[in-house]
Amino acid sequence: MTGEDFIRVIRRLARTRGLAVRFEAGHGKGSHGRLYLGTAFTTVKDRRQEIGPGLLRQLGLSPDDLKE
């Protein structure tokens, strides 16, 4: 899953759970940005590249959460 796909899935998940979500592209260099889900956040390094599993943990999610 690319960073863009991840952001899209997190936005969908936030809608179903009634959580606030936002992406701030101004954090970091180049295509880095910070993704907030409720009070948790993670840094999405390159939105065009594959993401690592650590992003889910930083947001307090598991891979099963993405299957909703």
**H or E element: which one contains 59?**
none
Going from N- to C-terminal start, the domains of the chain cover 3-63
Whole-model pTM: value is: 0.83
* Whole-number pLDDT of residue 54: 84
Question: Mind spelling out the 3-state secondary structure of 27-52?
Answer: CCCCCCEEEEECCEEEEECCCCCECC
Tell me which fold the domain 3-63 belongs to: Double Stranded RNA Binding Domain (3.30.160)
* Whole-number pLDDT of residue 53: 79
* Whole-number pLDDT of residue 32: 84
* Whole-number pLDDT of residue 37: 94
pLDDT digits (tens, 9 = 90+) for 9-61: 999 999 999 999 999 987 666 778 899 999 999 988 878 888 887 888 899 99
